[in-house]
Chains A and B, each alone.
Chain A
Amino acid sequence: MTPEENFMRKIEAEEKIEPKDWMPDTYRKNLIRQISQHAHSEVIGMQPEGNYITRAPSLRRKAVLISKVQDEAGHGLYLYSAAETLGISRSEMIEALQSGKAKYSSIFNYPVLTWADIAAIGWLVDGAAIVNQVSLQRTSYGPYSRGMIRICKEESFHQRQGYEAMLALAKGSPDQKAMAQDALNRFYWPALMMFGPHDSESAHSQKSMEWKIKRETNDDLRQKFIDQTVPQIEVLGLEHPDKALKWNEERGHYDSSDLNWDEFWSVIAGNGHCNRQRLEHHIAAHDEGEWVRDAITAYNEKKKAKQAKAA
């Protein structure tokens, strides 16, 4: 059996591919693209939520939010490590992010304007991420699959907290309820876009499905999310943003409006509300941290030299 045949045999037998196994170059590249994009999304996602840490309306909510953003940084770390097993370094990935070569989830290019947006992100954005990530627990690459299993546990917790925060608003004062409705109206659509373009338009989908990097299609995952969100909106007592939403008995799913794909491609192209701000923030923090990183290197070298001298 050639290495390639053995690789395909493993994929078909649902065996995991591990870092030292032979794999096609395009499989490797495809995974690096997907995992690093996922890592960057976690890291950039810290910004819109971090934006409300200093303004959280209660000490309990402040603590919950800090701990959530901290989890995201942790997810970024696992995912960078998972990508590193494929032979790319974290600094190369960061450079690709900062130069715009690597993408991150477009959802984080939408502005977080009110406290309810924080709740909506936890509920809808983490909710959509989980639908995708649950599916990725079965991905063919071992380190990615194991990372997803770990991340999903924490994301489910975030989603429950987000929904609970939304519920507090929806059942609160008229102002709070209006804030919740406004956040739902703005974040519902971009959350649906998180699943990516229609399968017919998706550049990487086919090969990724064949290699079992992706296990379900964009449109199937999106449908799952649409269906699960309907009763959640009902419990909140809010209006569903999609006026065309209708149960389809035959399909056993909700039919819904098509998305604004012009907006989707425009945000991906870098022209959303916050694309520039997010990258500038990341670059500025990274640049400002340079003297700190230099100091560590210098300190460690001095220490090593001292030890060498003593020995």
Chain B
Amino acid sequence: MSDAIKAATLEYATRLGDDSVVLGHRISEWISYGPFLEEDIAYGNVSLDYIGRARMFYTYAAELADDGRDEDDFAYMRNDREYRNLLLFEMPKGDFAYSQVRQLFADVYYTVLLPELLQSKDETLSAIAAKAIKETKYHLRRSRDWVLRLGDGTEESHKRTQKAVDALWGYTHELFDMDATEQLLADEGIGVDVSKLRDAWLQRVTEILTEATLTVPEDSWEVKGGRIGYHTENLGHMLTEMQIVHRSHPGCKW
């Protein structure tokens, strides 16, 4: 592996790890706050899957960095300006509709992204994708069911769900952005060219939202910046909480 490709792969694995840990953390915030017990269990499942992915991506990043850091150094010892996750995933959990709509957007995204990552020439990335694909299928089944029930449920649930769709839509454009790092990896057959995935994503999302009697928003606004560390104000608070114990005891084992 050339130095440039190695550096780009390290950056890529870190980004994918950041996406997973941030989304996994947000989902975990629901545990004991769900509308009924079965949902607490389901949130636990989804959250565990994402934390597991984060660990795999970070472990690979640590291996590539080869500077003595481990998965926890990546998760706990980097500041919000160093985090590279997509903004969509750091938004606060909001109400149940908001979290389920975000989850639908994420699940459809991974449904189109992971089969591509599975084709990666990089064996580790491909192996992680293979593990994640199966779970993503279950996650999508659940978020799709929820959006259908909420969208086509009561007047109130419909209103809340449409509001969530509208509030989150502008953060979905970033999911399909490429920069020089990702372009290099896509050209090498290591990374995924996400710019080619938006049509498939939009088609699936449109089908589901329409079935749920919801309106697909116009593409009238977009907010971006996660991949360069230009975050919303929410991530700093999230990381403050997540990192407090770890950072209060530098160098300790847990």
Instruction: Spell out A's residues near B (CB within 8 Å).
Output: 43, 46-47, 50, 53-63, 66-67, 69-70, 73-74, 76-77, 80, 115, 165, 168-169, 172-173, 175-176, 281, 285-286, 288-296, 298-299, 302
Contacts and interface: CB of A to CB of B under 8 A. Distances in A.
Contacts of A288: 33, 35, 95-96
B156 A70 contact: no
A63 B52 contact: yes
B180 interface: no
A interface majority secondary structure: helix
Q: Which of B157, B246, B254 has the most CB of A within 10 A?
A: B254
B71 interface: yes
B160 interface: yes
Interface in B5-47: 21, 25, 28-29, 31-41, 44-45, 47
Main secondary structure of the interface of B (DSSP, over half): helix
Interface of B: 21, 25, 28-29, 31-41, 44-45, 47-48, 51-52, 54-55, 58, 71-72, 75-76, 95-96, 148-150, 152-154, 156-157, 160, 241-242, 244-246, 249, 251-254
A57 B156 contact: no
Given A63-B48, A73-B40, A295-B154, A56 B245 contact: yes
A281 B154 CA distance: 25
Contacts of B251: 173
B51 A62 contact: yes
Q: Which of B52, B54, B252 has the most CB of A within 10 A?
A: B252
A235 to B, nearest CB: 18
A46 B245 contact: no
Contact of A296 (B29, B153, B241, B242): B153
Contact of B40 (A58, A70, A176, A293): A70
A292 B157 contact: yes
A36 B35 CA distance: 19
B246 A294 contact: no
Contacts of A62: 28, 51
27 contacts: A46-B40, A54-B29, A54-B241, A55-B245, A58-B76, A63-B48, A66-B28, A66-B31, A66-B47, A67-B44, A70-B44, A70-B48, A73-B41, A76-B37, A77-B41, A80-B37, A115-B254, A175-B249, A281-B32, A285-B32, A288-B33, A289-B96, A292-B35, A292-B150, A294-B156, A295-B157, A298-B154
